[in-house]
Amino acid sequence: MRPAEWYLTAHERGNPSTRLDSRHPDGRAWTEGNLVTPLVHGKAYFSALTERVSRMQPGDLLLFVDWRGDPDERLTGEAGSEVAGLFAEAARRGVDVRGLIWRSHWDRLAFSADENRHLGEDINAAGGECVLDMRVRLGGSHHQKFVVLRHPGRPEEDIAFLGGIDLCHSRRDDATHAGDPQPQTMAKVYGPRPPWHDVQLALTGPVVGDVEAVFRERWEDPQALSRSPIRWTMDRLRGDGQSRRPLPPQQPDPAPTGPHPVQVLRTYGHRLGGYPFAPRGERSVARAYAKAFSRAERLIYLEDQYLWSEEVGALLAAALRRSPDLRLVAVLPHQPDQDGAMSYAPNLVSRARLLDRLHAAAPGRVGVYGVENAAGTPVYVHAKVCVVDDEWVTVGSDNFNRRSWTHDSELSAAVAHPGLARDLRQELAREHLGVEGDLALEDHFDAYADSAAALAGWHRAPAGSPRPAGQLRPLDRPDQSRLTRLWADPLYRLVYDPDGRPLGLRLRRTF
């Protein structure tokens, strides 16, 4: 298999203003010779991050980007392992710590403005520099979640982490899905300690330079961090600065460390004033999915927080119609993360429509499941993973919805490598099925269907029946009245899943 058959070219990325591809001397829009290690669940990621940051030395560089950060989140579960303390202590040791944290919206709207500000305050007080970044489309967010650690003179230590896991409450869970002892408030169905399923990647090798370049493009953007005069005033009253110190020169990319070719993919919306590095936005996440799905022949396996939007459904339905042997398996949250009257229905209305479209396009070839823990509590699926034919895999911050593909800032890594794609799919299958050993690609669809049917049957069986192995159940699909759909659908389209493409692309229905 040649990666070029799966990856976007620099031209196909559609953003000639970025340095991401031009920085490669060979003209490729990806790097070779990397080692990619999936970290399934926040507990594994937080442990690896803590270990790596703890051994950083004076003069090293720590760059991080986050959608939500809770300064008191204990990365190892022990007192003293709080994320703000870990980064602040690195700054006190002489590590150059820089952070771009989404400014966020009010906490009363279930967002995290206060937490994000306090995370930056703690690190800045220790000598680091974190800023609250609101350079997004109206109603948008910086949804990227990544960390880059560089070590001048010790490039063998260089590493980047990227994926779907924020440095915040509720993320430190593992395969038992008992939940994080520091929970985030969610819908009642998830209980007081919501179980959480997520994935992050650890990357070493030349790709670390690409991920660092993503940070540098945002850091060096000269536009004001916010366009709101109210925020300017509040920032000045709190002593928060708008200026950013220049970053030290970027070190040469690390030497090869493994067999994996990696392509960095992004979304940036088409915003007022434009990004200098993406004047008309960037939609390489969406374009990469379109290219990969056009090659799919046997199985598209995805885990995602959402599965929304006509655009996403159209690509998946076209792939299923084109390839009669292709099957789709999706693992999603049983229920939305919030109970509110204005959030619950819009979260479900487009998902239901999309799933109906997929089942109609490929009857008997679409399997959609939710996850529950041993206590029967639904697990919130926050992972953003897609595996195509055990050949191509992507993990990142982007969800399967129009917002992530066109509107907010996102970052993912695609790896065209059969070994890695197969191994991650099998690792996730072992967890969800509760079995050991490998699951062949041709058996995946039926194994998930059989396991989910067995657990659903057990829930209907008399009390005391032995519980079957596995965490999968057919996805909950709550009924919605026609009246509910009438008001929820416009709210979904305008607020929950907006379109960030230039007008011409919208009219042509392309990315």
Confidence (pLDDT) at 238: 59
- Cα separation, 417 vs 392, in Å, equals 6
Report which DSSP code applies to 469.
S
Decide which of 9 and 121 is more confident.
Answer: 9
Average pLDDT on 213-233 reads 83
For residue 62, give Cα distances in angstroms to 93, 146, 167, 273, 380.
12, 11, 14, 29, 30
Of the pLDDT bands very low, low, confident and very high (cuts 50, 70, 90), residue 108 is: very low
Homologous superfamily (CATH) of 282-460+467-504 is: Endonuclease Chain A (3.30.870.10)
- Cα separation, 379 vs 372, whole angstroms: 5
Residue indicated by tokens 């520099």: 129
3-state class (DSSP) for residue 149: strand
pLDDT of residue 120: 84
Predicted confidence (pLDDT) at residue 232 exceeds the cutoff of 60: no
Whether the pLDDT of residue 239 is over 70: the answer is: no
Task: Using the CB atoms, write b or e for 16-36: b if 16+ within 10 Å.
Answer: eebebbeebeeebbbbbbbbb
Q: What is the mean pLDDT of residues 258-262?
A: 98
Q: What is the mean pLDDT of residues 153-170?
A: 97
Q: For residue 238, which of 344, 131, 144 has the smallest C-alpha distance?
A: 131
Taking only the tens place, the pLDDT of each residue in 35-55 is 999 999 999 999 999 999 999
Please indicate whether the domains covering 3-262 and 282-460+467-504 agree at the CATH topology level: yes
Residue 110's pLDDT band (cuts 50, 70, 90)? very low
Cα(1)–Cα(171) distance, integer angstroms: 36
Percent of the chain exceeding pLDDT 70 equals 94
Report which residue type is found at 131.
V
**Which tens digits make up the pLDDT trace of 286-306?**
999 999 999 999 999 999 999
Q: What is the pLDDT of residue 111?
A: 44
H helices present in 80-206, as ranges: 83-92, 113-125
Beta-bridge partner residues of 65: 100, 146
Q: Is the pLDDT of residue 228 over 80?
A: no
Q: Judge whether residue 357 has pLDDT over 50.
A: yes
Section 64-77 average pLDDT = 95
Residue 437 has what pLDDT? Answer: 92
Q: Look at residue 343 in the predicted model and tell me its pLDDT.
A: 85
Report pLDDT for 2. Answer: 84
DSSP alpha helix (H) spans, 362-443? 402, 418-433
Check residue 32 and give its pLDDT: 96
- What's residue 229's pLDDT? 61
pLDDT tier at 490, thresholds 50, 70, 90: very high
**With bands split at pLDDT 50, 70 and 90, how would you rate the model's confidence at 226?**
confident
For residue 115, give every residue at least 6 positions away whose Cβ sits within 8 Å of its Cβ, in sequence order, or none.
68, 69, 70, 71, 104, 107, 168
Instruction: Say what the pLDDT of residue 285 is.
Output: 98
Structure confidence at residue 424 (pLDDT): 98
Residue-range domain boundaries for the chain? 3-262, 282-460+467-504
Q: How confident is the model at residue 117 (pLDDT cuts 50, 70, 90)?
A: low
Exposed (0-12), middle (13-18) or buried (19+): which is 230, by Cβ within 10 Å? exposed
Reported as a single tens digit per residue, the pLDDT across 307-338 is 999 999 999 999 999 999 999 999 999 999 98
Average pLDDT, the chain: 93
Predicted local distance difference test score (pLDDT) of residue 109: 46
Q: Give pLDDT, residue 377.
A: 97
Sign of CA dihedral 82, 86, 92, 97: negative
- Whether the pLDDT of residue 113 is over 60: the answer is no
Alpha carbon of residue 259 to chain centroid: 23
Model confidence at 61: pLDDT above 80: yes
Look up the CATH superfamily of 3-262. Endonuclease Chain A (3.30.870.10)
Amino acid at 382: H
Per-residue pLDDT, averaged over 104-123, amounts to 63
pLDDT band at 27 (very low <50, low <70, confident <90, very high): confident
Residue 340 clears pLDDT 90, i.e. is over it: no
- Say what percent of the chain tops pLDDT 90: 85
Give, in order, the Cα–Cα distances in Å from 464 to each of 460, 467, 468, 490. Answer: 11, 8, 12, 46
Residue 456 reports pLDDT greater than 80: yes
The pLDDT value given to residue 107: 44
